[in-house]
Structure 1
Amino acid sequence: MVFIYGFCNGNAEASAREYRRKYPNRRSPDAKVFYHVYQHLRDKGCFRGVRATAERMLRQDEVRRIVGMVHRSPSISTRRISSRLCVPQAKVWRTLKREGLHPYHIQQVQHLQPGVSVQRLDFCTWLADHFQLWKYILYTDEAILTRSGSHNTRNAHWWSKENPKETVERNFQHRFSVNVWCGMIDNQLIGPHIFEGRLTGDVYINFLRNELLLLLEDMPLKTRRHIIFQQDGAPPHYRRQVIEYLNQEFPDRWIGRGGPRPWPTRSPNLTPLDFHLWGHMKSLAYKKKINSREEPLHQIQETAQIIRNNPAALRKATQSVLHRARKCIAADGGHFEHH
């Protein structure tokens, strides 16, 4: 086209006619095309990447707008970005991934009231300074298993070629719950023990006096002699009879509210039963549908045996408390899960 434009002495109309005569089987460009092609060659010096450069500039502009929206509002959804910028959602995903951006979930953490961070820091500092004691701490806790269980429909899927229209029942007319006690020490699971009815101070002290020592019979004698009993600050744990019993059976060797080593309030992330055992146990126990109060009792025992048969996982959970304590110290007693 440039050669013909020069052959016709820069006459665009004549160049178009000459081009049609010389190349009758090709698509004939308009006279203006010859003029603009010559102008571009004169200004730019080459034709390489004309269209690619324009597309690249357009793509870079889209990238800047997409990334800019994410920087202004980190919680914005790709669907909203797609709607606002009129860009396909798949393209938004590819752009963000290419830019090294990933959708991270926000973690839920326990609310810490004023002064709690000091308690947590004090306990974690003691634990870090006596790191050899982690094998002898008996962590204990209670949990309630209900009929409805815990079912997250947002993350529950049923793969099929057609919609199976699966449902999950909830809001049962006949409800029941089971109160379970468990303990963890080193690589051992102690229990479970089922409480009949609601947990009160009287029920708890009867358990400590009549059931706890029986549950600890299979524990090595060396470990039993050095047990450091831990419990949280639940009201049944703070009864005068409970404190007196623990002072007698575990003199200067128990952790809890009113004990020789206070347990920091609102600290489920420092006990392996809360951050490991209960979630694991419930996920196994609720695999089967529960229709009567007797069924969860049987499933709890089966689940406990499965967990007990994996001592390596239990030891990893109890040992990780020491790692969590150091993270808590680094956070000055505050939240550390996000680290």
Structure 2
Amino acid sequence: EQKSSGRQRTVTTPENVEAVRQSIFRSPKRSTHKHAVALHISNRSLRRILHEHLHFHPYKMVVVQELSPRDFQNRITASETLLETLPPDTLVFFSDETHFHLSGYVKKQNMRYCSGNNPRELHERPLHSDKVTVWCALSRVGVIGPYFFEEDSHAVTVNSQRYVDMIKNSIIPALEEMHLGNVWFQQDGATAHTARASMAVLRAKFPGRLISLRGDIPWAAHSPDLTPCVFMGIPQAEVFKHRPTNLLQLKNVIRQEVAQIPVHMLERAEESSRKRLHQCIENGGQHLQDICFKTTSFKTLKYVLSLAIHKFCLSAIFFLLFAFKKGSFYAPPCSFEKKTLPMSLFLMTT
């Protein structure tokens, strides 16, 4: 009887590579885990085939508006003005609002689509789904929010009066509690945000420090991709892991997840904001694509260390030492790090 060499037979055969390719083409939105189960191969092998053989990547689908040539120039101008006016250490609160549907749909859902190229993908929402409208503002030092626009526990349309009420009763008290001094505030050009009453209150609170349509630094329309909010924001996938069954549970989970956003994630988001402005200029004002965060992930460190210990993998040890020497290496923007911001930096209100 012939003895085994001890080395496991590889599953990255041409047949399996082609099988993975066809499976992805048939169901590009299916998770890698489900593809692996259907093909009877490990999830690790499938990911290796996707990245090393097919050069497929999980793209993040973001709902954006189509840009016109005029939008391109406005985005370039706004990016150049922000880079010239604001020093790198300027403290800016970037704000945004979105809808979380109880069905699991999110207005700005971070969905994944496996492909060799970044697709133009649409995502339909269910009709008449219960939802909450939530607002947050992010900076490197903390988060203001979440704030829910509602009356009698039902989501309501954001108008100028409701927006002003939020500014006076939530944003201003939160900033005063943080004792941050002169900070900048950014908002998009939604009608409720730029109404006369809203702008009057914002100009009084942020004199000379308002980034907005009709503000001190004009914000380009149709440009959510230039803020950190669209790329990190509320951990949407984490929210629906809890499977909330009613709106109260959904709001509580959102509060919980916002409170757990780690410090390093906020710092990385701010660092990436200036990179996005530079990329917007280089990209001719078009939508940004394929933005990656370069961060040291404790999940990745733990995985590499386990390889070194349990499989005596010398290359993993060298990789680990190299990662620490360089200070950081590319990894998914997630972490086992438990350090979070003090609760005093968060405003939890309804």
What TM-score bracket applies, with the shorter chain setting the length? 0.5 to 0.7
Name the CA distance, whole Å, in 1 between partners of 2:24 and 2:98.
41
Aligned residue number for residue 209 of structure 1: 168
Match of 1:276 in 2: 232
* 8 Å contact from structure 2 (residues 279, 288) kept in 1: yes
What amino acid sits opposite 1:317 in the alignment?
A: A
Q: Which has the larger radius of gyration?
A: 1
Q: State whether structure 2 residue 222 is matched by structure 1 residue 266.
A: yes
Confirm or deny that 1:243 pairs with 2:196.
no
Deviations 1:123-178 (A, max 9, x none): 111222245255411111111111111399x979xxxxxxxxxxxxx9698x4211
Partner SS, residue 208 of structure 2: coil
CA distance in 1, matches of 2:24, 2:112: 21
Structure 1 residues 305 and 245, CA, compared in 2 at 3 Å: closer, same or farther? Answer: same
Specify which of 241, 245, 248 is matched with residue 291 of structure 1.
245
Residue 105 of structure 1 deviates from its aligned partner by: 6.1
TM-score, normalising length from structure 2? 0.58
Partner residue of 2:289?
337
TM-score (norm 1): 0.60
Asked if 1:183 corresponds to 2:137, the answer is yes
* Whole-Å separation in 2 of the counterparts to 1:298 and 1:101: 41
1:193 match: secondary structure? strand
Task: Select the residue among 260, 265, 283 that pairs with 1:313.
Answer: 265
CA separation of 1:233 and 1:134: change in aligned 2, threshold 3 A:
farther
Q: Which residue of 2 aligns with 1:102?
A: 55
* Residue 141 of structure 1 pairs with residue 96 of structure 2: yes
1:121–1:332: 8 Å Cα contact kept in structure 2? yes
State the 1:187 CA deviation.
Answer: 3.3
Identity %: 26
Give the structure 2 partner of residue 199 of structure 1.
158
Gaps of 5+ in 2: 1-13, 15-20, 26-45, 114-124, 151-155, 292-350
Matches within 5 A, 1:19-168: 78=22, 102-104=55-57, 110=64, 111-133=66-88, 135-150=90-105
Match of 2:231, SS state, is: helix
How many corresponding residue pairs?
Answer: 231
1:16 is aligned to: none
Distance change (3 Å), C-alpha of 1:298 and 1:119: same
Shift of 1:103: 3.5
> 2:225 touches 2:287 (CA, 8 Å); kept in 1?
no
The structure where helix makes up a greater share of residues is: 1
Q: Measured at CA, do residues 113 and 299 of structure 1 come closer, stay the same or move farther in structure 2, by a change above 3 Å?
A: same
Structure 1 runs (4+) deviating above 3 angstroms are 77-81, 103-110, 170-173
Provide the C-alpha distance between the structure 2 equivalents of 1:327 and 1:146, rounded to a whole number of angstroms: 32
Cα-to-partner distance string for 1:48-77 (whole Å, 9 max, x where unaligned): xxxxxxxxxxxxxxx9xxxxxxxxxxxxx6
Give the secondary-structure state (helix, strand or coil) at the position aligned to 2:229: helix
Describe the shift of the 1:108–1:236 C-alpha distance in structure 2 as closer, same or farther (beyond 3 A): same
Q: Which runs of 5+ in 1 are unaligned?
A: 1-62, 64-76, 82-92, 157-169
